[in-house]
Amino acid sequence: MRITSLLTAFCITAWSTAAAQHSLRESTASYLLLNSDRIASSDHVELVPGKPEKHAGNPIMVEDKPWEVRYGDLSANVIFDPFEKFFKGWFSPFIVSESTAQAGTAREAGVLYGTSHNGELWNKPLLDLNPWSDGTKTNILVREAYGASVFRDQRDASRLYKMIYSTGNKLATRTSADGIRWSSATDATEATEEAHTSAFWASDRREYVALTTMKHGDERSIGRTSSKDFVKWTPVTPALKGLTAGQQVIALPVLPLGGVFLGFPVIHDIEQDRVHTELAWSADTVEWQRIAAGTPFIENGEKGSYDWGSAFVGSVIAMNDGVRIFYSGSDDVLSGSGKGSLNLARLGVDSFAGYRAAEGQTGTLQLKPLPYHGSKVRLTADIAPGGFVAVSAEDKDGNNLISSTRIEVGGADVELETTIPKGTKDLAISLRLQNATVYSIGFK
């Protein structure tokens, strides 16, 4: 059972997210415990990935236009616009494939646009920006753009939307005020042909970061480039490799959240020619740590299903009512020509990975002192029947502020022994857990 509780000075109360639906979660709302830099010591616990739940209505978008010929390794860029209150998507599939290309022409990727009010039902606006060969209006915004990354940069109104993508052996950039009409392309830096790219503003570093596919011989991995102004970019340098040459990392979508950068390494299993997505994190976007390397974050479906051949995460959105994961799927191997689709999975708030108590054991987790602000302490955990999480906290002088307050399934209105004084700057929190997994600590 999911428990998200607020530990106040007097009681523990269940935290309701019903009123917070369709609002973005603040990236600093909590501290994710998957960040090992926050852990002072641990015993009888292990870090395990969360378990996203696939949307029962998958697939949520399919190849139903003449220019939509391959969704299987789609670069899906989905955001929730906090001002217009709906989802926007920029999708980068192949719009011309070997089977549809005219003689003497190569396959081609482009950037397509879509909108949704709930993230489940999608509309493909037909525009006259890039008509199809027969004059039909399309939702194509940009042509000859592979593996594009699109994000909203609220700091820069005239260039509110930014795009970086692969064209030939280069990365190129474009900007837009509305996300629909884009500037002409500007060369950014040299890169691998047909690279998948993920870009974002890293506020702590005061720079734009792009993580893109690199290729050395037949082996692909992830490289990193950065820019202070989205114009001048550094050369691409290595950032993340696969565990073996047979498990290659071909993309790395990123979500800044909870004091870290969450990464979703997209893994191509060379022998099986299938794709799945795993989990990683970084404190600085330079050094990356894998979480349960080799374990899929989203499981591929059964043979013949919409995501048997590919479960390729494109975008992850943290909202106050939970996490939405948009990923492309295919019922065929990566090099095949099966049916591709856009799909949705959900995850509880902050539940990307957490510390789980060993079976039959009481686990302990001692956190390094955290900067304390607000009047409440928030814990997010999954607690099985018969399990519990006990929370205690001290200030920097060793004064006991929370005395082993125990949270159980259905537990509420539990008295605390002390009040957290005003002016407390740091809390050293200790957790004991049994039949439970803890994901994050936050202040409210």
Residue appearing with tokens 């990123």: 254
Q: pTM of the predicted model, to two decimals?
A: 0.91
Tokens of 114: 């879509």
Q: 78-100 in b/e burial notation, b at 16+ Cβ within 10 A?
A: bbbeeeeeebbbbbbbbbbeeee
Tokens of 245: 């040459």
pLDDT tens over the chain, length 444 residues: 665 554 543 333 333 333 345 677 776 668 999 999 999 999 999 999 999 999 999 999 999 999 999 887 889 999 999 999 999 999 999 999 765 555 445 789 999 999 999 999 999 999 999 999 999 999 999 999 999 999 999 999 899 999 999 998 999 999 999 999 999 999 999 988 889 999 999 998 999 999 999 999 989 999 999 999 999 999 999 999 999 999 999 999 999 998 899 999 999 999 999 999 999 999 999 999 999 999 999 999 999 999 999 999 999 999 988 999 999 999 999 999 899 999 999 999 899 999 999 999 999 999 999 888 766 778 888 988 889 999 888 888 888 877 777 787 543 333 333 457 777 788 899 999 999 999 998 877
- Domain 2-48+353-443 identical in fold to domain 53-347: no
Query: Which amino acid, one-letter code, is at 125?
Result: P
Reported as half-sphere exposure (CB side, CA atoms, 13 A), residue 89 has a value of 35
Contact 403, 221 (CB under 8 A): no
Q: Where are the domains of the chain?
A: 2-48+353-443, 53-347
Q: What fold characterizes domain 2-48+353-443? A: Jelly Rolls (2.60.120)
Q: What fold characterizes domain 53-347? A: Tachylectin-2; Chain A (2.115.10)
Contact 329, 86 (CB under 8 A): no
DSSP letter (8 states) at residue 158: G
